[in-house]
Amino acid sequence: MDKDRIVALIVAAGSGARMGGGIPKQYRKVAGVPVIARAVDALASHPAIDAVHVVIGAGQEALLAEALGNRAVTSSPGGASRRDSVRAGLEAIGAAKHVLIHDAARPFLPAAVVDRLLGALDAAEGAIPTLPVVDTLVRADGGTLGDTISRDGLARVQTPQAFGFDAILAAHRDWRGDAEPTDDAQVARGAGHTVLAVPGDAMLEKLTHEADFAAAEARLGAVMTSRTGMGNDVHAFAEGDHVMLCGLKIPHTQALAGHSDADVGLHAITDALLGTIADGDIGSHFPPSDPRWKGADSGTFLQHAASLVEAKGGIIDHVDLTIICEAPKVGPHRQAMRERIAELLTLPIGRVSVKATTTEQLGFTGRREGMAAQAVASVRLPEE
Ligand code: MG
């Protein structure tokens, strides 16, 4: 264990799903990215932080793995209370110089707050971000107003909270307080340590209520940019009795030749989606030389491209496909094709367009030698 490292400990052990969405709020997505992934990214990308450890609730391993993808974090199980979870996380980390203890539900962490916290640790064993109280405070037992409480000297407490690692671990091990602490500054002060307050940030507000998620989505939406990608594909006709088109088996006097199932429609949309994130093309992700893709269902390719867009926090707004051929007729299958594409992309059908045209018997499609498809995809992505 490296005793000189600075480690971030994210507490994500809550199981509260009452806000809706069916899963604990730290695993819910905000603008396409899970809350906990945003918290991890904010800490892991800070140059002073060497490692990130996450404390999760019982049975949340699969949720964490899905939310974090290939992000390099360690994790361990939490306990019955927040205090138990933090202590378990500190024990799992083992050794460090400083630790920043953070709540997963505060995903929008400006780097400047981390700078201020770590700077303050030169002068004390603990430092926390706080904000001034701006609202009037009153006692309101039972709905009838009581006395107004002076705001003088009061502050609102945020996380991450930064500590000398040995000091906060010992303080947690020695905690004897009567009331359950709601943050780690209380534990540090209980052990006699001085805890400094540094300016927090309004961006760090905790995502608690449904409206908090909506506000965060709206704020992130304002800094998303539109991307448009295009895709083109061609496959030659060969002997056979059906073609695969937009995931559907369509009876025809010929088949389409290709390494995979030769679905020109899905291939064009896949390339259009890859274009929105500037991430190569279908051939670079699924090379025809790879035997794994022989006869492959092209729905797999499309869903992989969509997952890459999603991993970048992207939102697919619309896909528009044009199929170019003399036959088979697309019209009778248009609605089913839209439904299948919408299903593969988990999009409302109103955001999926399928069009068809001939080339007036000109060129290879006009001579019925093959089919072509063109697609355009519109995506919103967080600003880079
Ligand atoms: Mg193709």
Summary mean pLDDT of the chain: 93
CA-CA distance, 5 to 316, in Å (whole number)? 40
Q: Which two tokens stand for residue 151?
A: 């705001």
Per-residue pLDDT tens digits for 43-95:
999 999 999 999 999 889 999 999 998 899 999 999 989 999 999 999 999 99
Is the pLDDT at 22 greater than 80? The verdict is: no
Average pLDDT over residues 213-240: 91
Average pLDDT over residues 236-241: 96
Q: Kindly give the distance from the C-alpha atom of residue 382 to the centroid of ligand 1, in angstroms, as a whole number.
A: 29
Residue 301 Cα, ligand 1 centroid: separation in angstroms? 11
- Ligand 1 centroid to residue 234 C-alpha, Å: 6
Ligand 1 geometric centre to CA of 359 (Å): 19
Provide the 8-state DSSP code for 79.
-
CA pair distance 269, 355, nearest whole angstrom: 13
Choice among 138-152, 333-347, 349-363 with the minimum mean pLDDT: 138-152
User: What separation in Å is there between the alpha carbon of 280 and the centre of ligand 1?
Assistant: 14
User: How far apart are the CA of 66 and the centre of ligand 1, in A?
Assistant: 30
Query: 286 CA to middle of ligand 1, Å?
Result: 10
CATH number for the domain whose boundaries are 225-382: 3.30.1330.50
The model's confidence at residue 341, banded by pLDDT at 50, 70 and 90, is: very high
Q: Which residue has the higher pLDDT, 384 or 360?
A: 360
The alpha carbon of 380 and the centre of ligand 1 are apart by a number of angstroms equal to 25
At residue 1 the predicted structure's pLDDT band, cuts being 50, 70 and 90, is low
Pairing of strands 98-103, 161-164: antiparallel
Going from the Cα of 236 to the center of ligand 1, the distance in angstroms, rounded, reads 10
171-196 tens-digit pLDDT:
999 998 788 999 999 999 999 999 99
Q: How confident is the model at residue 19 (pLDDT cuts 50, 70, 90)?
A: very low
Ligand 1 midpoint to CA 353 (Å): 19
How many Å apart are CA 135 and CA 214, to the nearest integer?
22
**196 Cα–ligand 1 center, Å:** 61
Q: In angstroms, what is the span from residue 292 Cα to ligand 1's centroid? A: 15
The predicted structure's pLDDT at residue 154: 93
Decide: 362 and 303 in contact? Cβ < 8 Å.
Answer: no
pLDDT value at 305 more than 60: yes
Residues 126-150 have pLDDT tens digits of 999 999 999 999 998 888 898 999 9
Report, as an integer, the average pLDDT of 323-347: 96
Residue 348 scores a pLDDT above 50 = yes
Q: Residue 107 has what pLDDT?
A: 95
Is 343 a residue whose pLDDT tops 70? Answer: yes
- Ligand 1 centroid to residue 263 C-alpha, Å: 7
Instruction: Report the separation in Å between the CA atom of 329 and the middle of ligand 1, taken as the mean of its atom positions.
Output: 20
266 C-alpha to ligand 1 centroid (Å): 8
Q: 257 alpha carbon to ligand 1 midpoint, in Å? A: 9
Portion of the chain with pLDDT greater than 90, in percent: 78
- Topology adopted by domain 6-221: Spore Coat Polysaccharide Biosynthesis Protein SpsA; Chain A (3.90.550)
User: How far does the centroid of ligand 1 lie from the alpha carbon of residue 96, in Å?
Assistant: 52
- Cis status of the peptide bond prior to 328, with omega within 30 of 0: yes
User: What are the CA-CA distances from residue 179 to residues 13, 46, 103, 190, 358 (Å)?
Assistant: 20, 34, 20, 11, 76
- The domain ranges of the chain are 6-221, 225-382
Distance 312 CA to ligand 1 centre (A): 25
pLDDT in the model for residue 13: 87
**Separation of 381 CA from ligand 1 center, angstroms?**
26
Over the Cα atoms of the chain, what is R_g? 27
Helix, strand, coil in percent for the chain, rounding step 5: 35, 30, 40
pLDDT at residue number 101: 98
Centre of ligand 1 to C-alpha 333, Å, is: 20
